[in-house]
């Protein structure tokens, strides 16, 4: 946090931040010019003037780093040639070279840095009549190289931190997107469950109520039996609604009774309710009957439930067949009825058919639905017996 705040301050006050090294060098230059062998004296103006002249371009070092290196180096080299013993050189050039290394690519930084180092060492060696790579000349060459290396390291560090921050921001955005996607999928799934539960049970209640109303005067015993079925169906609807709504509870909510999610073992109860509503239903199983993934069980149950509900509501059928075919790796669910012949309307676009198709697709299966040539309607779903981690 402190580093980020400092960067923001520097970005807002770039000119002031650029001038700070120049001010520091001027203070040092004044102190160096005033120091003598026998104590303090009045600063020598020549040395301070050369230092001040070389520091002027530093005010623009962040905006134009390469021209600033050229200008400061030109002033420092001139000062070293004219007054080799009276200037604080090449301090301004070191700051300029460091700034260039932090703000340019590595190739440019090192090319300029090496050339500047050779120039500084060569001018100093010529002014003091000593070998190029010996003693103080070599020390000044090392200073320029060190300034370049330090700037390059700072640039690399900044680049690394920027990449880390970018990855963190990208990961945060990805997590938010994934969370929103999961929430949307969960809302759609719960909406499908609510649709299946409400549509199925209300359809049965309506049918059984009609039977009871029709037989109330002519056959009270059968009417009473229909009312008993209404009671059982409504209680089952409440249990499934409670289980579905229970998914919306927060972890700290008070516990409540929740019915387990239905599966293929509950088909007999489902079909019993449909038969009580007046529709004859036959259930058959082919292949090697064996346990399947829980998600596949729930999907198969909901497809059979929705298909039989649609048959009862819309088909005016007398009989429906449910076939569960256990294959090598898939469970084929077929629900067909003998309703009146209807003109082909293509794949269904109602919410029930859309929900069934979405359920099958969500676990890696497929679903087709449409009228049969000789009348009636058929729904066929191909569902995987076991789920991969991606679809589980």
Give pLDDT tens digits for 85-113: 655 668 888 888 888 898 888 898 899 98
- Residue 270 is predicted with a pLDDT of 85
Q: Where in the chain is the domain with CATH 3.30.565.10?
A: 263-392
By C-alpha distance, which of 360, 345, 341, 350 is closest to 299?
360
Which is more confident, 227 or 356? Answer: 356
Average of per-residue pLDDT values in the chain: 77
How many Cα neighbours within 13 Å face the side chain of 238?
A: 8
What is the b/e burial string over 350-367, where b = at least 16 CB atoms within 10 angstroms of the residue's CB?
eebbebbbebbeebbbeb
- Cis before residue 44, ω within 30 degrees of 0? no
What fold, for 263-392? Heat Shock Protein 90 (3.30.565)
Look up tokens 């070389």; give the residue: 54
- What is the model's pLDDT at position 227? 75
DSSP 262: P
Model confidence band, residue 331 (pLDDT cutoffs 50, 70, 90): very high
- Say what the pLDDT of residue 345 is: 44
Average pLDDT of span 260-284: 84
* Listed range (130-134, 267-271, 337-341, 384-388) with the worst mean pLDDT: 130-134
Higher-pLDDT residue of 317, 87: 317
Per-residue b/e over 247-264, b at no fewer than 16 CB within 10 Å? eeeeeeeeeeeeeebbbb
Average pLDDT over residues 250-272: 67
Write down the pTM of the prediction.
0.44
Q: Is the pLDDT of residue 367 over 90?
A: yes
């Amino acid at each position: 946090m402190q580093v980020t705040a400092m960067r923001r301050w520097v970005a807002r006050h770039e000119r002031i931040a650029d001038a700070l090294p120049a001010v520091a060098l001027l203070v040092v230059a004044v102190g160096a010019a005033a120091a003598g062998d026998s104590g303090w004296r009045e600063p020598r103006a020549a040395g301070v003037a050369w230092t001040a002249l070389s520091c002027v371009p530093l005010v623009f070092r962040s905006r134009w780093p390469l021209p600033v290196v050229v200008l400061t180096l030109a002033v420092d080299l001139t000062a070293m040639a004219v007054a080799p013993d009276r200037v604080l050189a090449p301090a301004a050039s070191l700051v300029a070279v460091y700034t260039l290394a932090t703000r340019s690519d590595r190739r440019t930084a090192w090319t300029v840095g090496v050339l500047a180092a050779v120039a500084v060492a060569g001018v100093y060696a010529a002014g003091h009549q000593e070998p190029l790579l010996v003693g103080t000349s070599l020390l000044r060459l090392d200073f320029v190289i060190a300034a370049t290396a330090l700037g390059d390291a700072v640039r690399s560090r900044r680049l690394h931190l920027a990449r880390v921050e970018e990855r963190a921001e990208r990961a945060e955005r990805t997590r938010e997107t994934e969370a929103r996607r999961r929430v949307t999928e969960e809302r759609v799934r719960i909406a499908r469950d609510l649709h299946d539960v409400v549509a199925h049970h209300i359809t049965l209640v309506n049918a059984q109520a009609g039977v009871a109303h029709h037989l109330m005067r002519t056959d009270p015993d059968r009417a009473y039996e229909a009312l008993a079925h209404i009671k059982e169906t409504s209680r089952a609807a409440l249990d499934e609604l409670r289980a579905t709504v229970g998914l919306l509870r927060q972890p700290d909510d008070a516990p409540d009774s929740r019915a387990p999610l239905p599966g293929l073992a509950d088909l007999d109860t489902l079909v019993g309710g449909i038969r009580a509503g007046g529709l004859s239903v036959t259930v058959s199983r082919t292949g090697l009957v064996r346990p399947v993934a829980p998600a596949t069980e729930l999907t198969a149950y909901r497809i059979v439930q929705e298909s039989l509900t649609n048959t009862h509501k819309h088909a005016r059928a007398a009989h429906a067949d449910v076939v569960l075919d256990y294959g090598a790796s898939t469970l084929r669910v077929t629900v067909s009825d003998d309703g009146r012949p209807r003109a082909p309307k293509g794949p269904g676009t109602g919410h029930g058919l859309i929900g069934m198709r979405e359920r099958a697709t969500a676990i890696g299966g497929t679903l087709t639905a449409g009228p049969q040539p000789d009348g009636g309607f058929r729904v066929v779903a191909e569902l995987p017996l076991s789920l991969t981690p991606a679809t589980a």
